[in-house]
Structure 1
Amino acid sequence: MTAPQKPVRAAGCVLWRRAASEDGLEIGLVHRPKYDDWSHPKGKLKRGENPLAGAVREVAEETGMDCRLGSPLPTAVYLAGGRPKQVRYWAAEAVAGAFTPNPEVDLLVWLPPAEARTRLTHERDRPLVDALLASLHLA
């Protein structure tokens, strides 16, 4: 019998900014050409890295945005490449920065919550939009 695999540890954010839309905010989603998918900015933690620090680093690397962290959001647990993966998420307000396409992320879009929920490729990412709205008392 083989021992269960340790989960891949990752962290990310549901990135948002204030907007003049009816919801008063937009959510930033990234497109990853390697997977041809739309998701929240996230990535694997470096050895010994604190999940909070990793979430902020990933947002900066993938979107070019500096962010102000807010409430913790639900942790996603799923299989990736046959291995368990655990992604800790936080709400994060984009406060400054500019997006530059890179090999990992070629597009960043800002969408109202309902459109963001529809654009997300993976079903597991959609409840995070609702969790963000609840954490901001907008749900």
Structure 2
Amino acid sequence: MAPRGGEYTVTYKEDVVRAAGCVLWRRSPVDGGLEICLVHRPKYDDWSHPKGKLKRSEEPLAGALREVEEETGFRCAPGASLPTVRYLAQGRPKEVTYWAAEATTGHFTPNREVDRIIWLPPVAARNRLTQLRDRQLVDALLSTLNLA
């Protein structure tokens, strides 16, 4: 029943844009320190963690691994789940499920979605991220790796 004198909107779970990604990390080939991979998306001119929308009936972890490889060229070994991030994107609710993931093999080639990647120590990665909501994921990764 609608409230008196007004209408209401019902939001169904199907209305949520579902996406998944990873906080991709590695040990520096120079000094062995922790490095986090960030992607630059020219469409938005931003720096973020690799992520993307899930395909119909795709499991979130499978989608996260697919998106990491598509955007960075790296395969990875998934680890612990990280916090799910929820926000509005173009007026629609979006839910991004994240995992910690260690880069294993691969090589970056610029593509339509991502023109650059950068590997940075955690503090520099946190500062480079465009969205504040992405910065909490760096802290969650460090906690998961017992480095916080």
TM-score class, shorter: over 0.9
Counterparts of 2:146 and 2:17, CA distance in 1: 31
Contact conserved, 1:21 with 1:112, CA < 8 A, in 2? no
Q: Are 1:123 and 2:126 matched, yes or no?
A: no
How far off is 1:137 after superposition?
0.4
Q: How many residues align?
A: 138
Match 2:10 to one of 3, 6, 21: 3
Runs of 4+ in structure 1 off by over 6 angstroms are none
Residue correspondence of structure 1 range 93-112 to structure 2 within 5 A: 93-112=102-121
Residue correspondence of structure 1 range 1-139 to structure 2 within 5 A: 1-4=8-11, 6-19=15-28, 20-21=30-31, 24-139=33-148
TM-score, normalised with respect to structure 2: 0.91
Deviations 1:10-67 (A, max 9, x none): 0000000012558x21000000000000000000000000000000000000000000
Q: Structure 1: where are the runs of 5+ without partners?
A: none
Contact conserved, 1:31 with 1:105, CA < 8 A, in 2? yes
Counterparts of 2:9 and 2:68, CA distance in 1: 36
Counterparts of 1:2 and 1:116, CA distance in 2: 39
Q: Determine which structure has more spread, i.e. the larger CA radius of gyration.
A: 2
Letter in 2 for 1:4: T
Letter in 1 for 2:95: Q
Map of 2:5 onto structure 1: none
Q: Structure 2: where are the runs of 5+ without partners?
A: 1-7
Contact conserved, 1:41 with 1:59, CA < 8 A, in 2? yes
RMSD, aligned CA: 1.1
TM-score, normalised with respect to structure 1: 0.96
SS at match of 1:87: strand
Identity of aligned residues (%): 70
